[in-house]
Structure 1
Amino acid sequence: MDYKPQPLDTKHVKLPKEILELQEKLAENIHEIWAYQRIQQGWTYGPERNDQKRKHPNIVPYNQLTEEDKDYDRNTAMETLKTIIMLGYSVQKK
């Protein structure tokens, strides 16, 4: 298979300040969804990742993740928001 991912180029998308405030809340929820799904699949916390035993060090609350791991979720949140804006949708706080 010669798969070449081609995500939308969102580099030029500028998010309004009020949308930027969502980043951390979305990142935390992204982590919560990921952890919930893993737990549902039988994974538990382990100090090192072990796919055979279904152990993962990131099955912890968001505030206990390293900044590097939080940045992964933050990037996913930002790219999702940028994609929404790029596709012509808007996000507004009520």
Structure 2
Amino acid sequence: ADLPADLRLRRELIQRIASVLQARMQREELTLRQVAEMLGVSHPRIADLLAKRAERFSLDWLALLAVQLGLNVRMRVTRPYGTGGASD
């Protein structure tokens, strides 16, 4: 079954955030608690994030966290292919 578009986007974003966060934790030898404190969120939230539990996060919260981590978040809205738009 197809995933809802929102969950697909959240999964894509959480993959990138978790990757950046894990690399930073390894590079700077940070614990989950240190990362949580640095980002102003709870330790369990960081654990859920690193476990890539996208269903537990909103898209806007993930986008704000990504920006806080120095990532650029871009969103593109297009018509589905074949709907008669100018770009079809």
Question: TM-score when scaled to structure 1?
Answer: 0.40
- Which of the two has greater strand per residue? 1
- Which of the two has greater helix per residue? 2
Higher relative contact order (CA 8 A, sep 6+): 1
Question: TM-score when scaled to structure 2?
Answer: 0.42
